[in-house]
């Protein structure tokens, strides 16, 4: 078919306009639909008792509050629980790249809210603390804000952000996760490790030394669960689950079950529900 000059000009104009238009985003199924089609809920996990704990013998993620929550949510969706190993610092990127569907025990910081969505309901509450050398005099954050004091912390976390803003005179050593930060304290490379109080309870038991201190002024935070940004249906579903677990006390039960299984007296540990702190 021959194209005359007038038809050529029209086609050329359409091509020019199209070239200047932004590409339309590819349509994708929502998280709920994808999860059910896949048959599994992909939950981000990282070795950090009491939140996530891998059985060293089997390599399976069997215990921890985040594991219990992930299994319960998967059951509510009628799918399998699928753990996917990440770090605290890479969890949001894993959501963005569609490698995981949710990460429990992740604080809803302003920076994270730009890249992920968070349910309104809290998952649990905890207080920022340090596991310090027995001979280190510390009762306030200012006691740690001194040159010569070395503190380890998981990088790109709310704990890291707090130390950077409030204990800047100390030497802050950043590590990929809880395990590495605690190992730095265990080896004597640092004077204290900073985490929220529940993981320090397990660490203190394993190490058999050090003291857990909640420096003043105490900083208590609500933590939540991060999901992929822009999926209102899945956010609403996750919010309903968190609300149910918190108000029924189920989240506290999972926490106490882990501590008991870990050989600790759960009645002596600070609660993770604000009303019981």
pLDDT tens-digit map of 93-127: 999 999 999 999 999 999 999 999 999 999 999 99
Q: Which portions of the chain are predicted below pLDDT 70? A: 1-29
Pairing of strands 80-85, 171-175: unpaired
Domain 31-124+223-269 has CATH 3.40.190.10: yes
In this prediction, residue 275 carries a pLDDT of 86
The CATH architecture annotation of domain 126-220 reads 3-Layer(aba) Sandwich (3.40)
In this prediction, residue 32 carries a pLDDT of 93
Cα separation, 119 vs 117, in Å, equals 7
* Fold matches, 31-124+223-269 and 126-220: yes
In this prediction, residue 186 carries a pLDDT of 97
∠170-173-176 over CA atoms, to 5°? 150
Q: Domain coordinates of the chain in residue numbers? A: 31-124+223-269, 126-220
Cα separation, 120 vs 225, in Å, equals 10
Kindly calculate the radius of gyration of the chain based on its CA atoms and give it in whole angstroms: 23
Q: Distance from CA of residue 203 to its chain's centroid?
A: 18
* Residue 46, token pair as written in the block: 């990282």
């Amino acid at each position: 078919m021959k194209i005359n000059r007038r038809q050529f000009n029209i086609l050329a104009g359409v091509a020019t306009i199209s070239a200047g238009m932004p590409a339309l985003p590819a349509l994708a199924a929502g998280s709920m639909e994808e999860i059910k089609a896949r048959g599994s809920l992909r939950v981000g996990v990282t070795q950090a008792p009491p939140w996530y704990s891998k059985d060293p013998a089997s390599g399976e993620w069997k215990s921890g509050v985040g594991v219990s929550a992930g299994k319960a949510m998967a059951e509510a969706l009628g799918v399998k629980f699928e753990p996917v190993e990440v770090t605290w610092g890479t969890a949001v990127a894993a959501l963005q790249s569609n490698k995981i569907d949710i990460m429990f025990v992740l604080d809803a910081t302003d920076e994270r809210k730009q890249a992920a969505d968070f349910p309104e309901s809290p998952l649990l509450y905890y207080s920022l603390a340090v596991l310090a050398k027995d001979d280190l005099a510390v009762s306030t954050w200012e006691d740690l804000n001194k040159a010569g004091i070395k503190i380890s912390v998981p990088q790109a976390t709310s704990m890291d952000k707090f130390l950077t803003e409030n204990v800047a005179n100390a030497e802050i050593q950043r590590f990929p996760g809880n395990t590495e930060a605690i190992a730095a304290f265990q080896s004597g490379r640092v004077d204290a490790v900073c985490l929220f109080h529940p993981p320090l309870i397990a660490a203190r038991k394993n190490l058999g030394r050090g003291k857990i201190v909640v420096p003043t002024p105490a900083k208590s935070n609500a933590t939540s669960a991060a999901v992929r940004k822009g999926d209102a249906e899945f956010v609403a579903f996750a919010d309903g689950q968190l609300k149910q677990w918190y108000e029924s006390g189920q989240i506290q039960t999972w926490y106490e079950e882990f501590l008991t299984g870990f050989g600790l007296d759960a009645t002596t540990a600070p609660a993770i529900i604000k009303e019981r702190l």
